[in-house]
Amino acid sequence: MPAAAEPSRTVLLLNGPNLNLLGTRDPEQYGTVTLDEVERRVVSLGVELGVEVVCAQSNSEGVMVDRIHAARHWAGVVLNPGAYAHYGIALRDAIDAVEAPVVEVHISNIYAREEFRHTSVTAPVAAGYVAGCGVFGYELALRAVLRRDAERRA
């Protein structure tokens, strides 16, 4: 992961399993916007808001845990944990262990989907939660992370 010049003005945008397939995987559920486009939009919004956004994606829970640990003193983390939201205890513990606010985002409304998706082990330790807003939810989550960070620093 690249080192951030000023941790207090850096946000990690972290996407979990299968999100590398955005734009082609189940477009009726997730749309046709690619992960590259989502990252470009969030980085651009970050520039407008005066923060650096560092983007990462992994299909491995351990790699995601490492990335959250590395961002523990940053302004925050925008996290789409994908399926790990429902059973990723190590990811949950990483979120709970860091001082940086983590805002969880899901493209679809997980409560309008299969019942197994209705339970999140990560949401109870997140500083905020955005779901069902499509890829626009990432932009909302960035704004929420920055608000939570400002509240934390006040």
Binding residues: 80, 86, 93, 107-108, 117
CA gap 150, 49 in Å, rounded: 13
| pLDDT tens digits, 67-95 | 999 999 999 999 999 999 999 999 999 99
What is the predicted pLDDT for the residue at 129? Answer: 96
Pairing status of strand 10-15 against strand 76-80: parallel
Catalytic site residue from 30, 84, 129, 138: 30
**Residues of the chain with confidence (pLDDT) below 50:** 1-4
User: Is 106 annotated in the active site?
Assistant: yes
Binding residues for substrate: 80, 86, 93, 107-108, 117
pTM, two decimals, is 0.91
What is the predicted pLDDT for the residue at 115? Answer: 77
For residue 131, report the phi and psi dihedrals to the nearest 5 degrees: -145, 150
Catalytic site residue from 84, 106, 129, 138: 106
User: Is 30 annotated in the active site?
Assistant: yes
3-state secondary structure string, 15-62? ECCCHHHCCCCCHHHHCCCCHHHHHHHHHHHHHHHCCEEEEEECCCHH
Indicate the burial class of 119 (C-beta count within 10 angstroms; 0-12, 13-18, 19 or more): exposed
